[in-house]
Structure 1
């Protein structure tokens, strides 16, 4: 949106309410920015930094509570701002995200006459000429729009094969409200870009644009309809998933007409059991479908809360299962482009290996680290955090006390917030979708563990891009072998320098430590060579059985050598 259109949206004739809204948002932001400036910049310069530190958590909570109240009072896009802020774990402290986490995107419904007027203006006809009937009481009301049940006229029903539909209509004036809110947010973002302790950690204007783009897509119902069609095409051959059909003849940018697919809410366990459906069987299927979206299709539902997923019973006795998952509301969708997929793949490899340096490299590949980031510090922090769970596989992680994971998350959040980087919007949508998926599955089955569904998809993702995980593992093993082979030579050089007196030594135990390190290096070389030969043999064996088998047998030699070297010095 240009600055001219921003000014016109705020100062247009008859827009007193929008001008007041704009000023109220700016007053709120200016006051809290001044408070932050006083405590975070002025007091430390006066030698009173301890006061700022001691009151920081309390001030953050107070700000979050006041913003919560502001959002509920203003409605519109401000509720979306609160929800967006609650997901920015990479930027905002937990005192803020926790308070805003419960902010609901629900407001009192718009009176039906106003909904009727907008729908008729969009469809260029009276509603009773377009639909056989429309229920005046909405089945859902939100900050951006609301939905009503309706029946198509007999001719339209015959052409579309549909009878009952859902008429989704934007809240009147929401375009102007969104424009005003975005204009105010851009202004605040400009202020924050000049505050060093904020700008060093986040590009706030970029965050505002990111949020604005998502919001504008949500109020474009033509975009939502296209998303629904694309999602349906992705699952056209999957009998586990259903998507409502779009009635394009009755759809515009502000009005969306969809097949009425209302069924059993996914978390309504009593209704599921009454229909003969075991909720515990639904959880893994739902998780599997969400992973298909993110890691196979690359196009996923980013708001899979219980209100957006139904369980639809199937009456066909020949069907594999007696129900299917039905998704609705495709306004918030995410994509996983190839570059992000590659980054995620490397993140998984590094996380599985508890490799702090590899994790930082993967984060850099995704493009989220600012140029000023101290990667050495981040590597050390990640290595220390991984040290708490080092060497543990998925099965062992399932046995860890949940409080350990909570402590890990708290420390991880502190490290992340201390460094100047932010996650891409699509990555945040992945985190949001995963979090909601886990919550839904847990409500279906208290014993459900997301790791059980993660494992096969993690393996699938690792194989996906180049199609042959053996090549990548072999390459990594060869790199490690090269380092390991050079290590003894470097140690010998170090000993030579020590013996020659060219390297000052303050620790008399150094020689013994170096000798132990030298023996360890020899064992490492043997172990790595064993792995390289074994992997190479496995890869070659598919094309040359004899040569591949020979390599696999020969791999035993360095393995035995490594074991012998280790035992000889016990």
Structure 2
């Protein structure tokens, strides 16, 4: 065994023990809280105005103790109603990715290692104290020799190893849960962990964030209402990101914006149009557009920062969003239901009528609400909450989409409570549908369909001849796939044991009879005869009883 494997095994065991210690401590507190003594302690703490934690709050505190990997996973679960109940999701939404900063001198050394040069030779000025600290990286202010202000983001030391260990343990536990609780198949908890693992590992590589910035720059190069900061690829590595420092006002305080001569209504409109352009025209969007990642520049220009978390939509996802948007506008539950079923990749859904009826009840609540007052993100969330009850699996990217829509809608409504968000999305939705049914698109799909039928007609005689030939030669094989192979193996083992037991008993019975015929004086031969006869009689009775 290699020393590297031994060391990795040691790290896994050490991290597992650390996690177990946190879970045991928090679990013991939760266990005590449910007892008579815990209720007494709770009442006493309430009288003394001390904090009293609920089960949901204790879960959040446990996740915070476990570290950045679990904090980010908790943030994702907060947007997954198919995995976590509403009361736990409300608590998980309080998770923050803020972390204690690590040593500034250590950060400086790491930056110099990535640059392969002293900081003074690369930057004209460099702030020795960090501007911000998150779970993955730490940010510093600096200026380039040409005077350009930049931010320098350096990854935390040894964070990749720790996250990989956590992901290994999380996937192990998820696989155990999926194996022991088959009813969780609709949740696909292993898939959730795998998707999270891919997302956080991409976020660890700052080259990916640099590529995202370049893509957003290309998307908005002709849009004067959106600004994407410049990234300096010559200084960027897997662990280091250097990008333009954007200055502006955060959009969380309309009063400050108005005091600086900015138009909050136009800002809300620009921000909503920017996100809708990302989603419905490019299928590539900023997945965390909260107020801390947005700056308002002069001229009501929207500047985005922090491009580590992005969402990618397939054409099917974009068509879903377009169809469901038009369904909301028309208050048509059938259109909404069909778009949801198509999104889940189900052709024939047995409970379609029940889903339409439930959606009809939901849309009836908004029958007297004007279109410009509809809570668009809230209605999509209600639809997702509804279809999870029918055990339908929704593509993981849709949850990130709903989160982004809800976030930008909240920011926009804070700036302009009367922003018509639902009518705003309608033109984009119509464009998607028009592109889908454009003559060129339909002609292309028709050509592909005819081509497939032509290939089928040409290949069919040869395929039939091959099947008949193999049938004559006895080479046709049929693979049978069992959903639960472990139960099948257990059943086969049980049958084998019973057959072996029966053969042994019959052998003992026949052998004892032969012994008595040849040597009637042998006492153990008579014993074997009686013992085997009794056991065979018991087996016959059990068989008859089961038959009844």
Same-fold status (TM-score > 0.5):
yes
- The answer to whether the Cα contact below 8 Å between 2:377 and 2:402 also exists between their aligned partners in 1 is no
* Aligned match of 1:79: 71
* Counterpart position of 1:455: 426
Match of 2:314 among 328, 334, 337: 337
Deviation at 1:6, TM superposition (A): 9.5
Match status 1:221 vs 2:192: no
The answer (yes or no) to whether the contact 1:301–1:333 under 8 Å persists in 2 is yes
Is 1:237 aligned to 2:193, yes or no? no
Q: Deviations over 1:492-529 (max 9, x none)?
A: xxxxxxxxxxxxxxxxxxxxxxxxxxxxxxxxxxxxxx
Q: 1:350, 1:358 within 8 Å by CA — same for their partners in 2?
A: yes
Which residue of the partner structure matches residue 93 of structure 2?
101
Give the alignment partner of residue 67 of structure 1, picking from 36, 59, 69: 59
Q: Is the counterpart of residue 430 in structure 1 residue 401 in structure 2? A: yes
Aligned residue number for residue 169 of structure 1: 154
Tell me, in whole angstroms, the C-alpha distance in 2 between the residues paired with 1:343 and 1:173.
41
Question: Following the alignment from structure 1 to structure 2, what is the Cα–Cα distance between the partners of residues 26 and 236?
Answer: 49
Q: Does 1:387 align with 2:387?
A: no
What CA distance in whole angstroms lies between the structure 2 residues aligned with 1:368 and 1:10?
41
> How many aligned residue pairs are there?
419
TM-score computed with the length of structure 1 as normaliser: 0.66
Select which of 342, 346, 358 maps to 1:365.
342
Residues 457-491 of structure 1: per-residue CA shift (max 9 Å, x gap): 2332332322379x9xxxxxxxxxxxxxxxxxxxx
Runs of at least 5 residues in structure 1 that lack an aligned partner in the other structure:
35-60, 314-321, 472-570
Partners of 2:78 and 2:90 within 8 A in 1: yes
Cα deviations by residue, 1:324-355 (Å, 9 ceiling, x for unpaired): 11111110111222232233333345455555
CA change 1:299–1:182 in 2 (3 A) is: same
Change (3 A) 1:323 1:459: same
The aligned runs of 1:289-328 (5 Å cut-off) are 289-313=274-298, 322-328=299-305
Aligned to 2:42: none
- Alpha-carbon distance in 2 for matches of 1:82, 1:232: 31
Q: How big is the shift at 1:198?
A: 4.5
Say if 2:102 is the partner of 1:118. no
In the superposition, relative to structure 1, how do residues 191 and 127 fare at CA in structure 2: closer, same or farther (>3 Å)? same
Q: Determine whether 1:11 maps to 2:3.
A: no
Which residue among 188, 205, 219 is the counterpart of 2:190?
A: 205
| Change in CA separation of 1:264 and 1:141 when aligned onto 2, cut-off 3 Å | same
Compare CA radii of gyration and give the structure with the larger one.
2
State the match for 1:92 in structure 2. 84
What SS class does the counterpart of residue 103 from structure 1 fall into? coil
Structure 2 CA distance, aligned partners of 1:267 and 1:20? 42
Q: 2:170 aligns with which of 172, 185, 192?
A: 185
Aligned mates of 2:359, 2:133 — CA distance in 1? 44
Taking only aligned residues, the RMSD between alpha carbons, in angstroms, comes to 3.6
Provide the TM-score with structure 2 as the length reference: 0.68
Deviation at 1:255, TM superposition (A): 0.5
- 2:472 corresponds to which residue? none
